[in-house]
Amino acid sequence: MTIYIFALILILLALLGTPLFAVILAVAMLGFYYLDVSLSVIAIEVYRIADTPVLLALPLFTFAGYILAESRTSHRLVRLTRACLCWMPGGLAIVAFIACAFFTAFTGASGVTIVALGALLYPALIEAGYRDKFSLGLVTTSGSLGLLFPPSLPLILYAIIAQQMNVGAKVAISDLFLAGLLPGLLMVVLLSFWSLWENRQNPVERPLFSVQEAKSALREAVWEIPLPFFVLGGIYGGFFAVSEAAAATAMYVLVVEVFIYKEISLSKLPAIMRDSMVMVGGILLILGVSLASTNFLIDAEVPIRLFDVIQAHVSSKIVFLILLNILLLILGAILDIFSAIVIMVPIILPVAINYGVDPVHLGIIFLANMQIGYITPPVGMNLFIASYRFDKPIIELYQAAIPFMIVLLAAVLIITYVPALSLVFLQR
Partner 1 sequence: MSNNQHKPFTERVRSVLYRIEDGILVGLLLLMIGLAVTQIFLRNLFDSGIVWSDILVRILVLWVGLVGAMVASRQGNHINIDILDRYLPERAKPVVGIVVQLFTALICTVAAYFSLLFVQVEYADGGTLFAQVPAWVCESIIPFAFAVIAVRYFMLSFENFKNIFALRP
Is 217 or 335 the residue whose CB approaches partner 1 more closely?
A: 335
13 makes contact with partner 1 (CB under 8 A): yes
Sign of CA dihedral 12, 14, 18, 23: positive
Q: Does 50 help bind partner 1 (rule: CB under 8 A)? A: yes
Q: What crossing angle do the helices spanning 173-198 and 394-417 adopt, rounded to 10°?
A: 120
CA distance 269 to 251: 13
Q: Is 78 in the site for partner 1 (CB under 8 A)?
A: no
Q: Which is nearer to partner 1, 276 or 422 (CB)?
A: 276
| Residue 325 CA neighbour count, 13 Å, CB half | 19
- Return the number of the residue (61 or 130) whose C-beta is nearest partner 1: 61
177 binds partner 1 (CB under 8 A): no
Does 402 bind partner 1 (CB under 8 A)? Our answer is: no
Using the rule CB under 8 A, is 393 a contact of partner 1? no
Which residue from 100, 106, 109 is spatially nearest to 81, judged by alpha carbons? Answer: 100
- 258 near partner 1, rule: CB under 8 A: no
Query: Hey, which residues between 227 and 246 contact partner 1 (CB under 8 A)?
Result: 239-240, 243-244, 246
Q: Does 163 bind partner 1 (CB under 8 A)?
A: no
- Number of residues near partner 1 (by CB under 8 A): 63
Among residues 315, 55, 63, the alpha carbon closest in space to that of 163 is found at: 55
Q: How far apart are CA 80 and CA 103, in angstroms?
A: 13
Among 3, 7, 18, 170, binds partner 1 (CB under 8 A): 18
Return the number of the residue (271 or 319) whose C-beta is nearest partner 1: 271
Out of 29, 196, 329, 402, which residue is the one contacting partner 1 (CB under 8 A)? 29
Measured at the CA of 53, the angle between CA 110 and CA 273, to 5 degrees, comes to: 40
- The vertex-166 CA angle with 104 and 150, nearest 5°, equals 15
**315 to 334, contacts with partner 1 by CB under 8 A?**
334
> Per CB under 8 A, does 248 bind partner 1?
yes
273 binds partner 1 (CB under 8 A): yes
Least distance (Å) from partner 1 to the CB of residue 307?
26
Of 7, 169, 222, 251, the one binding partner 1 (CB under 8 A) is 251
Instruction: Dihedral sign for Cα 257, 261, 263, 264, please.
Output: positive
Helix (H) / strand (E) element for 342: namely helix 337-354
| Choice from 49, 314, 322, 418 touching partner 1 (CB under 8 A) | 49
Beta strands in 103-177 (DSSP E): none
Radius of gyration (C-alpha) of the chain in whole angstroms: 22
Angle between helices 226-236 and 173-198 (to 10 degrees): 140
Of positions 77, 155, 162, 335, contacts partner 1 by CB under 8 A: 335
- Rounded to the nearest 10 degrees, what angle do helices 119-127 and 91-107 cross at? 180
Task: Give 273's contacts (C-beta < 8 A, 6+ positions apart).
Answer: 63, 66
SS3 state at 145 = coil
Among 136, 179, 285, 345, binds partner 1 (CB under 8 A): 285
Return the closest-CA partner of residue 355 out of 409, 298, 295, 306: 306
Stretch that binds partner 1, among 99-107, 190-198, 268-276, 302-310 (CB under 8 A): 268-276
Question: Contacting partner 1 (CB under 8 A), which of 44, 169, 326, 327?
Answer: 44
The residues of the shown chain that bind partner 1, judged by CB under 8 A, are: 13-22, 25-26, 29, 38-40, 42-44, 46-47, 49-53, 55-56, 58-60, 63, 239-240, 243-244, 246-248, 250-251, 254, 270, 273-274, 276-286, 288, 334-336, 338-339, 379
